[in-house]
C-alpha cells in the first residue's frame, strides 16, 4: 500500500492554514463514527441504579449532567469523580460497561453514515486510521466487531492502553507512535466532544476537527480548540481533498 501523505488543502472562510501532509487521522467512536442514540446516558442510568451510585432522582439528574459534560473521557475517570473510592469507581465502571453491552445487543449499533467509506478512502490514499475511545477494550472490540471495521482501521486504543484518557494527549500520541506517523503536524484528530478537541490540541495535532453528530455543539467544540467544525465525518473526505467538492 502506498504511504504517500494526503495534501490538506482547506477552503474554509473561517480557517486559514498552510497545507499539511496528513499521515494519520485519529477518530473518536461513539458520537463521531458510531451512532450513539443516547446509549451512553442510558447505560449510565442503569449502572447508577445497579451500583447504588445515587440515592434519589435529583442526584441522578446531576450525575447525568456531569456525564454529558465529560462525554468522551475515560469512563473510569468519570466514575472516580462521582464515587468516594477506587473500588466503587471500578465497580460502577464495570456496571456501565455491562449495561452498555446489553443495550448494544438489544438495539444494535450503527455507524455514522459515510464513516466506513471514509476509512477506506483514507487508507487507499496511504493515510493511517486510528479509533480511540473512553470505553474499555472489551466494549471497543464489541463495537468494532459489530460494525465489521477490523479490516478498515490500522489501530484501536482505549485509555488503559495509552496511559490516560481524554482530555489528555495520550490516546492520539500513542496512535501516532503505533502507526509510525512522522510528526504530530501530520495528524488529524476528529471528535464530537470538548474532551476530543482538548486531547487533539494538547497532542499538537496539525488539525483538530469537531463533528456535530454527537454530544456537543459548535460553540462548545470551538471553545475547546476545534480548528474547524463539520456536520459529520462524511464531510471529512472533501475537507481533506480526497473527494472533489460536489456542485449542485
What confidence score (pLDDT) does residue 20 get?
61
Q: What pLDDT is attached to residue 106? A: 86
pLDDT of residue 19: 56
CA atoms within 13 A on the CB side of 25: 31
The reported pLDDT for the residue numbered 243 is 65
Q: Considering only CA atoms, which of 204, 209, 155, 154 is closest in space to residue 184?
A: 204
Please report the pLDDT score of residue 107 as a whole number: 83
Whole-prediction pTM value? Answer: 0.83
Locate the domains of the chain by residue range: 6-35+111-239, 39-107
Q: Is the peptide bond before 202 cis (omega within 30 degrees of 0)?
A: no
pLDDT at 70: 82
Superfamily of domain 6-35+111-239: HAD superfamily/HAD-like (3.40.50.1000)
User: d(Cα 24, Cα 41) in Å, to the nearest integer?
Assistant: 30
Measured between alpha carbons, how far is 224 from 64 in angstroms, rounded to an integer?
A: 21
How confident is the prediction along the chain (248 residues), in pLDDT tens digits per residue? 333 444 444 444 444 434 568 999 999 999 999 997 888 888 888 888 888 888 888 888 888 888 888 877 888 888 888 888 899 888 888 898 898 888 888 888 899 999 999 999 999 999 999 999 988 898 899 899 989 999 999 999 999 999 999 999 999 999 999 999 999 999 999 999 999 999 999 999 999 999 999 888 999 999 999 999 999 999 998 888 876 554 44
Query: For residue 144, what are the contacts with CB-CB under 8 A and spacing of at least 6?
Result: 131, 150, 153, 156
Amino acid at each position: 500500500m502506498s504511504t504517500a501523505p494526503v495534501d490538506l488543502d482547506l477552503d474554509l472562510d473561517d480557517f486559514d492554514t498552510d497545507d499539511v501532509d496528513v499521515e494519520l487521522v485519529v477518530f473518536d467512536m461513539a458520537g463521531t463514527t458510531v451512532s450513539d442514540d443516547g446509549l451512553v446516558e442510558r447505560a449510565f442510568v442503569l449502572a447508577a441504579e445497579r451500583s447504588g451510585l445515587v440515592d434519589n432522582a435529583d442526584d441522578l439528574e446531576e450525575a447525568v449532567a456531569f456525564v454529558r459534560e465529560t462525554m468522551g473521557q475515560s469512563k473510569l475517570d468519570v466514575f472516580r469523580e462521582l464515587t468516594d473510592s477506587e473500588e466503587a469507581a471500578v465497580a460502577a465502571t464495570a456496571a456501565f460497561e455491562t449495561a452498555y453491552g446489553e443495550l448494544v445487543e438489544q438495539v444494535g449499533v450503527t455507524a455514522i453514515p459515510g464513516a466506513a467509506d471514509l476509512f477506506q478512502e483514507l487508507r487507499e490514499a496511504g493515510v493511517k486510521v486510528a479509533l480511540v475511545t473512553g470505553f474499555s477494550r472489551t466494549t471497543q472490540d464489541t463495537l468494532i466487531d459489530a460494525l465489521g471495521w477490523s479490516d478498515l482501521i490500522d489501530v484501536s486504543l482505549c485509555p488503559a492502553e495509552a496511559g490516560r484518557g481524554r482530555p489528555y494527549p495520550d490516546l492520539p500520541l500513542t496512535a501516532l507512535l503505533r502507526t509510525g506517523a512522522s510528526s504530530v503536524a501530520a495528524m488529524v484528530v476528529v471528535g464530537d466532544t470538548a474532551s476530543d478537541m482538548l486531547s487533539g490540541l494538547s497532542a499538537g495535532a496539525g488539525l483538530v476537527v469537531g463533528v456535530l453528530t454527537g454530544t456537543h455543539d459548535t460553540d462548545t467544540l470551538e471553545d475547546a480548540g476545534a480548528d474547524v467544525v463539520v456536520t459529520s465525518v462524511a464531510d471529512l473526505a472533501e475537507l481533506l481533498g480526497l473527494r472533489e467538492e460536489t456542485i449542485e
